[in-house]
Amino acid sequence: MTGHHLAQINIGRLIGPLDDPRLAGFVALLEPVNALADSSDGFVWRYRSEGLPDATTERPFGPDLLLNFSVWESPDALWEFTYRSGHLDVLRRRRDWFANLTEAYAALWWIPAGHIPTVAEAGERLRLLRENGPTPAAFTFRDRFPAPGPTEATLSS
């Protein structure tokens, strides 16, 4: 067990409002795919609105920008859920529901285990990735950075 977890933010521009019939397929998948994430190995935390099962009513980055914001034990755990589970088929169909974003839309960064990141923090990491490209502060699956060295707490345990 390392002293760090991996946080991820990704945003998507919807092709219409959530009650648009073209998005019915996506809306129907929210519950099962969120349940799949929650039960995946290495899942730690997922951002959601207070008292609601997901964060689809939150639009901190723009009126048509959905966010997907979560914490995982490792990049491999996140990779396995993202690309080696039923979630892959959602990604395969992303262009049915989401417009193409020309700027970076997904960022990864390391957090101390136990820390719950804020939306402001996630927005800042996305901004860093867009401005500087992949760095240890904000990176991508294709250009990963290792977790920071073990903390004192993990050395003494």
* Closer of 40 and 154 to other proteins (Cβ): 40
Alpha-carbon distance of 29 to 35, in angstroms, equals 10
Out of 20, 52, 93, 118, the residue judged to bind other proteins by CB under 8 A: 93
Q: Which of residues 118-157 bind other proteins (CB under 8 A)?
A: 142
Q: Cβ-count burial of 155 within 10 angstroms (0-12 exposed, 13-18 middle, 19+ buried)? A: exposed
Q: If binding means CB under 8 A, how many residues of this protein chain bind other proteins? A: 25
* Closer of 16 and 112 to other proteins (Cβ): 16
Q: Is 24 among the residues that bind other proteins (CB under 8 A)?
A: no
CA nearest 9: which of 59, 67, 55, 58?
67
Q: Cβ-count burial of 65 within 10 angstroms (0-12 exposed, 13-18 middle, 19+ buried)? A: middle
Q: Is 70 among the residues that bind other proteins (CB under 8 A)?
A: no
Q: Is 94 among the residues that bind other proteins (CB under 8 A)?
A: yes
Out of 24, 99, 116, 153, the residue judged to bind other proteins by CB under 8 A: 99
Pairing of strands 106-112, 4-14: antiparallel
Q: Is 20 among the residues that bind other proteins (CB under 8 A)?
A: no
Number of H helices, E strands in the chain: 6, 5
- Least spacing, CB of residue 115 vs other proteins, in Å: 28
Assess contact for 147 and 4: CB atoms under 8 A: yes
Residues lying near other proteins in the complex (CB under 8 A): 25, 29, 32-33, 36, 80, 82-96, 99-100, 102, 142
